[in-house]
Amino acid sequence: MPELGSYRSRILAGTIASAALGVLGFSTIGFGAAVVGESRKAEITQKAPSSLDALKAQYRRPASIPFPKDNPYTPDKAALGKKLYFDTRLSVSSAQSCASCHSPGFGWGDGLAVGVGHGMAKLGRHSPTIVNAAWSAIFMWDGRLPTLEDQALGPIQSPGEMNMKLDDLMARLASIPEYKPMFDASFPGQGMTAKALAQAIATYERTVVSERAPFDAWIEGNEKAIPEAAKRGFAVFNGKAQCAACHEGWNFTNEGFQDIGLPSTDIGRGEYLPGVIKMQHAFKTPGLREINRRSPFMHDGSLATLEAVIDHYDHGGVDRPSRSDLMRPLGLTAQEKADLVAFLKTLTSELEPTAVPVLPR
């Protein structure tokens, strides 16, 4: 048996090592491998089942926005970032800004099934919201970018999206007189660089936070803040439907990657980890804040309504080796499904209108 285990782990390791190139930063492939023993059943001591109050405490809003040490918040930088975010001159056609696909009007998405890029061509995936991106651990549906700063530069340069070369972009921005003093104020002594541009946009994006929703008032003790159906839905969400296994915490995501069995040929994270079965067709779990404003849903925008999403999970999706072990038919009743929808609706805040900035000329 140990022979078999060792052999199997070697085969897997070879594929993983090649898969990890670029993702985990290894430039060479080793021939050795760790020895993996047989899997055993184990006695485990789970913490006692949480009381409702303990459970609710896990969903409490954070008090402040986290900013990275190497790109701290300043008001100037966030203001510059906001102008850049809404500036269509960041695209080669001068027709698209970040806000084209991540618009405050659509819960910071675009309301389309899949995004529209350069030349009005359809993109492969649904534009994700940027709400609460400050709390993200990894970016893009397939997790290929490690920071929000990297993410900011991705769509700008992508030929299918804004199609803008960074050198050309910085030259174009330098030709707009009002930008230079703003860069100087935000990044003293650094000049107008692509790095500064990315830092400014990311800083603005981190300030895009979902506001208090009825759910938050309930979590903090106001029993009248949400309907009884939503409270039942919260129990189903954390219990029978197991939604909270992935949609956990105040922003309703643990940033994990799962194949939830959507019938799509897109392999998602599998492109970066080809040897890892469970990453085939796996996509990042999105948060659920402002969910009412974000239809259609899923990485491919294939489900139009929250009811359709819940039916998908209830059904369990396409059974294939990569499908998450958490996906299986749930046997939800019509009442439970309706309660889940009622609960999800309590996660949408009264978002204050976002003023479009006056752009530098």
Partner 1 sequence: MRTIALFTCVIVAGFSVGAYAATEVIHQQGRAFSSETISVKKGEAVTFLNDDTVPHNIMSASKGNEFNLGSQAPGTSTDVTFKEAGDVQVICAIHPRMKMMVKVTD
Nearer to partner 1, 58 or 93 (CB): 58
Among 103, 295, 324, 346, binds partner 1 (CB under 8 A): 324
Binding flag, residue 105, partner 1 (CB under 8 A): no
Q: How far is CA 18 from the centre of its chain?
A: 26
Phi then psi for residue 40, to 5 deg, are -120, 155
CB of 2 to partner 1, least distance (A): 4
DSSP bridge partners of 282: 268
CA distance 83 to 86: 5
Binding mask 41-60 for partner 1 (x = CB under 8 A): xx-xxxx-------------
Buried b / exposed e over 255-289, threshold 16 CB at 10 Å, is bbbbbbbbebeebbbbebbbbbebbbbbbbbbbbb
Which stretch of DSSP H or E encloses residue 284? strand 283-284
Restricted to residues 175-214, the positions that interact with partner 1 (CB under 8 A) are none
What gap in Å lies between CA 86 and CA 56, rounded to an integer? 37
Query: For partner 1, which residue of 74, 147, 158, 254 counts as binding (CB under 8 A)?
Result: 254
Residue 282 · residue 269 · CB < 8 Å: yes
Sign of torsion over alpha carbons 293, 296, 298, 301 = negative
Q: How far is the CB of 250 from partner 1 (least distance, A)?
A: 15
Contact by Cβ (8 Å): 145, 73: no
Reference 184, options 175, 193, 153; nearest CA is 193
By CB under 8 A, is residue 277 in contact with partner 1? yes
Q: By C-alpha distance, which of 128, 106, 78, 121 is closest to 253?
A: 128
Interface with partner 1, residue 326, by CB under 8 A: yes
List 114, 192, 245, 359, residue binding partner 1 (CB under 8 A): 245
Give whichever of 39 and 51 is closer to partner 1, judged by the CB atom: 39
Nearer of residues 113 and 276 to partner 1, judged by Cβ: 276
> Closer CB to partner 1, residue 242 or residue 354?
242
Is 12 a binding residue for partner 1 by CB under 8 A? The answer is: yes
Stretch that binds partner 1, among 123-131, 195-203, 276-284, 303-311 (CB under 8 A): 276-284
Q: Which among 86-94, 228-236, 251-259, 334-342 is the span making contact with partner 1, rule CB under 8 A?
A: 251-259
Structure tokens at 323: 């499908």
Q: Are 323 and 267 in contact (CB under 8 A)?
A: no
Q: In angstroms, give the least distance from the CB of 174 to partner 1.
A: 37
Selected binder of partner 1 within 103, 127, 151, 258 (CB under 8 A): 258
Q: How far does CA 43 lie from the centroid of its chain?
A: 35
**Residue tagged 């056609």 (tokens):** 93
In terms of C-beta density within 10 A (0-12 exposed, 13-18 middle, 19 or more buried), how is residue 20 classed?
middle
Chain centroid, CA 323 distance in Å: 19
Nearby residues of 213 by Cβ (< 8 Å), 6 or more positions away: 289, 346, 347, 348, 349
**By the rule CB under 8 A, 273 interacts with partner 1:** yes
**Interface stretch with partner 1, choices 188-196, 225-233, 254-262, 330-338 (CB under 8 A):** 254-262
Q: From the CB of 62, what's the least distance to partner 1, in Å?
A: 15
Q: Rounded to whole angstroms, how far apart are CA atoms 62 and 134? A: 12
Among 33, 123, 192, 359, binds partner 1 (CB under 8 A): 33
When binding is defined by CB under 8 A, the residue of 56, 61, 144, 278 that contacts partner 1 is 278
Name which of residues 129 to 148 contact partner 1 (CB under 8 A).
Answer: 137-138, 143
Sole binder of partner 1 in the list 26, 65, 94, 122 (CB under 8 A): 26
| Contact region with partner 1 (CB under 8 A), list: 10-18, 179-187, 339-347, 349-357 | 10-18
Residue ranges in contact with partner 1 by CB under 8 A: 1-3, 6, 9, 12-14, 16-17, 19-20, 24, 26, 28-30, 32-42, 44-47, 137-138, 143, 245-246, 248, 254-258, 273, 275-279, 282, 324-326
